[in-house]
């Protein structure tokens, strides 16, 4: 049944996943290394690895995996303007999920965690940031957006590359603590002003009520702009120098953004510098 619902173009394939995106899906959504040898008991294709995985892991993890795959399948079909296929598919999958959840324990078993960011990668990510800095102004903006996608994915934030809606450019999005954040990225030879902050906030306000945003400015933000922008907004701000400091001090970008979001919830401030969030004697 799982094969029929989630199979891609031919046997062994799963939905529209490539080997790379299949691995990324499990790493980012479930923190699991689906490429681990333990899941190859039936073979190395994506379909056989999925079956091997479901046969080993605990019921709760299996249920969560099937639910996430179903959500991905629905989004994929909507994006391709396809119907949902046989009407019994949803009932069958969710009947299995319900049975698995009913027998789930609180202790996961059979899991191989996804590889974490190696310590030396902090230096590599910092060096790639410097490489973007050395590009021409014309090349720098697009390279910065691509770099942020790589950076966020390195820390499990499931970044999505820039996209356009009705003529409106969105520089990307990412997931943090089950919330979706829209991204605005600027690399310009000045600090970002209040007009640009209001412009991005306006984009967020036009989206779903729960939408949030992260404004990344390599050159920083004007003090006057931040003060005039005020408190209680639906975005937080990150400066380029903070990315550099975080990577030099081996602070995860996910941890940095998480603390910025928490401080904004507590104080209403859209920008709290890394020096306050992470005093120099801690990581």
In a domain, 110, yes or no: no
Model pLDDT, residue 163: 54
What is the C-alpha to C-alpha distance for residues 139 and 260, in angstroms, rounded to an integer? 29
What is the extent of the structural domain holding 228? 119-277
Model pLDDT, residue 198: 94
In a shared domain, residues 129 and 257: yes
Pick from 252, 211, 257: which is nearest to 233 by CA? 211
What is the C-alpha to C-alpha distance for residues 253 and 246, in angstroms, rounded to an integer? 7
In a shared domain, residues 222 and 87: no
**Tokens, residue 192:** 């970002």
In a domain, 46, yes or no: yes
**Which of 102, 127, 152 represents a domain boundary (last residue)?**
102
Model pLDDT, residue 175: 84
List alpha helices for 166-271, DSSP H: 194-205, 223-229, 240-248, 253-267
Model pLDDT, residue 179: 83
In a shared domain, residues 126 and 75: no
Pick from 210, 209, 213, 211: which is nearest to 197 by CA? 213
In a domain, 111, yes or no: no
In a shared domain, residues 86 and 178: no
Whose tokens are 């899941």? That residue is 39
Stated pTM of the model: 0.59
In a shared domain, residues 147 and 204: yes
**Which of 102, 136, 165 represents a domain boundary (last residue)?**
102
Model pLDDT, residue 140: 87
In a shared domain, residues 15 and 86: yes
Give every residue of the chain whose pLDDT is below 70, as ranges: 8-12, 79-88, 116-120, 162-170, 281-283
Number of domains in the chain: 2
* Contact between residue 233 and residue 209 where contact means Cβ atoms under 8 Å apart: no
């Amino acid at each position: 049944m799982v094969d029929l619902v989630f199979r891609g173009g031919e046997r062994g394939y799963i939905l529209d996943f490539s080997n790379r995106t299949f691995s990324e899906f499990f790493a980012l959504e479930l923190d699991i290394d689906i490429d681990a040898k333990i899941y190859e008991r039936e073979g190395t294709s994506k379909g056989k690895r999925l079956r091997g995985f479901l046969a080993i892991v605990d019921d709760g993890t299996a249920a969560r995996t099937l639910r996430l795959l179903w959500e991905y399948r629905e989004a994929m079909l909507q994006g391709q303007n396809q119907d949902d296929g046989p009407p019994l598919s949803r009932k069958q999958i969710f009947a299995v999920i319900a049975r698995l959840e009913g027998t789930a324990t609180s202790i996961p078993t059979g899991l191989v965690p996804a590889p974490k960011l190696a310590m030396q990668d902090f230096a590599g990510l910092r060096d790639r940031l410097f490489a973007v800095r050395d590009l021409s102004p014309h090349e720098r903006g697009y390279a910065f957006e691509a770099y942020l996608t790589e950076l966020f994915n390195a820390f499990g934030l499931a970044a999505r590359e820039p996209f356009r809606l009705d003529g409106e450019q969105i520089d990307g999005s990412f997931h943090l603590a089950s919330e979706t954040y829209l991204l605005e990225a600027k690399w310009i030879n000045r600090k970002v002003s209040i007009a640009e902050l209001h412009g991005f906030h306006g984009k967020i306000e036009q989206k779903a009520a729960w939408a949030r945003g992260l404004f990344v400015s390599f050159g920083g933000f004007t003090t006057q702009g931040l003060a005039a922008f005020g408190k209680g907004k639906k975005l937080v701000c990150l400066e380029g120098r903070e990315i550099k400091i975080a990577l030099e001090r081996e602070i995860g970008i996910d941890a940095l953004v998480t603390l910025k979001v928490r401080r904004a919830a507590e104080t209403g401030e859209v920008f709290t510098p890394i020096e306050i969030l992470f005093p120099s004697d801690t990581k």
